Each structure stands twice: as structure tokens, then as C-alpha cells.
Copies of this chain bind each other. A is one copy, B any other.
Amino acid sequence: MNQSQYPSKEDLQIRWTKVQNSLKESDANACLIATNVNIYYLTGRIFTGFVYLSVEGDPICFVQRPVDLQGENVIHIRKPEDIPCLLQKKKLSLPSVLLLETDQITHNEFLRLETAFNPKVTGNATPVLRKARMTKTPWEIEQLRISAKQHAETYQQIPSVFSKNMKDVEFQYEIERLMRKNGSLGIFRTFGNNMDIFMGSLLAGKNAETPSPYDFALGGGGLNPCLPIGVNGEKIQPGQTVMVDMAGNFTAYITDMTRVYSYGTLPDIVYQAHRTSIRMHNCFMETVKPGIACADIYNRSIEMVEEAGFAAHFMGTVQQAKFVGHGVGIEINELPVLMKRSKDLLQTGMVIAYEPKFVFPDIGAVGIENTFLITETGTEKLTVLNEEIVNLI
């Protein structure tokens, strides 16, 4: 591990200030953070324990494990019940309004922490942290650029690991190896307890249409009923597409990117649908900038799909996803979400994956996904790579 893997204190300070401003807006005195993703966000590292951030001052890290963790404002504890006493020893008053991550921690964790602090009011820290994480700091953007670059370079190499008569799962694990070889950390962080997936998704042929239990853009039947998503072990056939949508977790910050490969030639209508997706991306880049409503991007996308005559294929057939894009960062499904009922407006520093996709029964899925940085004047595409369908043979 090297120093460049850690954010500077100045960069962390931007995050603390965002959270502290939200605390003030909601008349809260402090938040106590217990989940890995938010501990990482606020400190640049992961430990078992808690981060206490009040409206003033730097956060305090109450650490259970690892036992050897050192640093500014690090206090080792045995259990969360130790924290209130330690705060009082530091002459800090206990919060009368305390926010806990009530959309993330378990009910029993909540009860334990609420009992330990006994505040007058306990509120929800999850939306505060999700909102802070929605716009990225300079260091976070740098990490996303590193991920995007490695992501694109890996995708460029995908055809080199394909061979005829491969099963979808064989192609998938060769791509996984390529990702790991190029620095993928492997882990796939999602918001929501039940969002199982492994490294990302590869969908070939008929399997692209199979609905999954999860709220990802597309599904796939999976190899086992305990993980009903992605490859299903069938052979990739001539005349099918292979859609690759692997997570670009080459740093803590994940880029999202989809490209399509074909095994032989496809019917014209499938190429047309793919070009519709590319055209939608071009429209996205021409029109999107800070101030635009996420709902408007969704609605405009639906209009373009309907004009092109592909509504029945859009984001699935049997089951259709109700969004066309989403924020990315430490988790693959961050805010904002590009969907009809979103109230969010785009802001400078957001990083958004846009993924209009089409499914054709028996042939497969087409369409691309790119990750964009929202700049002061428009968008910058981070995942730069040829967007046409690449023939594998």
C-alpha cells in the first residue's frame, strides 16, 4: 500500500463539512457511523468500530479492530457503550439529537447504540451520508479516473480471451482473471442488504431475457438458485450477443461500463437498437449539465426509445428496469438515480452511469453503459472505448 491510496486531510475535510452542514440543516448535533462504506468515506480506511462526527471539529475514530490501528483522533474501545464516557472525558457534550444509519445498521445495532447514547431524538444518518457521497471530491474523482482507465483497458483485451465453443461461464471467468490481473480489487459493494452479485455480469443469448430478483438493469438465470443472476452455463452460439457489464473496482471507487460483443453477424434490427443506445449517449453528452433533472433524463430517454420503436425491448422484456442510470462511487448504486420519480437535479461533481439497454429474445442484449463526470459546463466521459459491437471471430 502506498500513500496515494489515502486521501489527504484537505480532501476528507470537504466530506466532513458536507456532512456537518447536513447535520446543522436537520438540527442534529452529531452522527455515529458504523458501516464500512461510510467509515471509509469519512476516514479513507476501514476498521471495525465507529466514527463520531459532531457539527464542529474533526471526527473521532472509536476502533475495535485492528488492534494496531494508529492515527489522529483514534481511540481504541472494547464496545460501543464505552463511547459516551470517552466523549465526556474529552469535555464534549453528548448529543441530544443523534443520527444513526437507520437504513443500513440492523435493528438490534440501532437499539444498542440508542441505549448507549440515550439522546432526546434519534434520526437517520443514511440519507445524510448518501447525499454527501453523491458529489465527489477531487481525490474521489481521481480514483474514479484510475478505475475508468483500467476498466477500459481491460475491456479492450476481452476479445483476446474468447474462443469458439466457450460456455458463457468460461468466458466470464477468463474476463474476471483479466480484471484481477489489471488490478481489480474483486469486491462488489452495493447499497441494500440483498443485492447479491459476483464481480459483474455477462449475458449471452437467451439468458439476457431471464428476470432476476435483484434491482440491477438486467438479470440472467445464474448457475445456481442461490445466486440467480448472470451466466447460466450455456454455450455461446453463433448469432448471439455477449453483453459484458463488469464492475470497474480498480480502486475503492467503482466505474460502471458495458460493451457488447457478437459471435458472428446479427439481424439488422439488433444493430439498430445498439445504435439507438449510442445515439442516446450522444444526446446525454450534448444536453446533460448541472441543473438538469434526473427525471427529465429518464423521460427523454424513454421518448427516444419509443421514437425508435424499441420500447418492448428496453431494459428487459419479461421484467423491465425502471431506471436508465445511477450514481456510482464506493457503491455501484449510489445517488442520484435516473428514474421517473427522482427529485434530484444534477450537480457538478456527480458521477453517473448511463445504461440504456435492449434485450432481444434468443439473440441477447445490446446497448452500452458509460460512466460520466458531471462538470461545471456539461459532462466528461470517463470510460472511453470503442462503443460499436465488436465481433469476436
Residues of A at the B interface (CB closer than 8 Å) are 1, 5-6, 34-36, 40, 44-49, 65-68, 100, 102-110, 124, 169-170, 172-174, 176-177, 180-181, 183, 185-187, 189, 193-194, 196-199, 211-215, 219, 221-228, 232, 251-252, 318-319, 330
Chain B residue nearest in CB terms to A178: B173
Chain B residue nearest in CB terms to A226: B252
Chain B residue nearest in CB terms to A193: B35
Shortest beta-carbon distance, A122 to chain B, in Å?
Answer: 9
When the two chains form their complex, are residues A185 and B224 in contact, meaning their CB atoms are under 8 A apart?
A: yes
Q: In the complex, which residues of chain B have a beta carbon less than 8 angstroms from the beta carbon of A105?
A: 106-107, 193
Shortest beta-carbon distance, A195 to chain B, in Å?
Answer: 9
Q: What's the Cα separation between A124 and B109 when bound, in Å?
A: 13
- Contacts A105-B193, A106-B103, A106-B104 given: A212-B65 contact, CB under 8 Å? yes
Chain B residue nearest in CB terms to A252: B226
Q: In the complex, which residues of chain B have a beta carbon less than 8 angstroms from the beta carbon of A170?
A: 181
Chain B residue nearest in CB terms to A221: B1
- Contacts A48-B213, A124-B108 given: A187-B193 contact, CB under 8 Å? no
Shortest beta-carbon distance, A110 to chain B, in Å?
Answer: 4
Of the residues B36, B212, B223, contact of A196 by C-beta under 8 Å:
B36
When the two chains form their complex, are residues A319 and B107 in contact, meaning their CB atoms are under 8 A apart?
A: no
When the two chains form their complex, are residues A224 and B212 in contact, meaning their CB atoms are under 8 A apart?
A: no
Q: In the complex, which residues of chain B have a beta carbon less than 8 angstroms from the beta carbon of A65?
A: 211-215, 319
Q: In the complex, which residues of chain B have a beta carbon less than 8 angstroms from the beta carbon of A252?
A: 224-227
Of the residues B36, B172, B185, B222, contact of A198 by C-beta under 8 Å:
B185
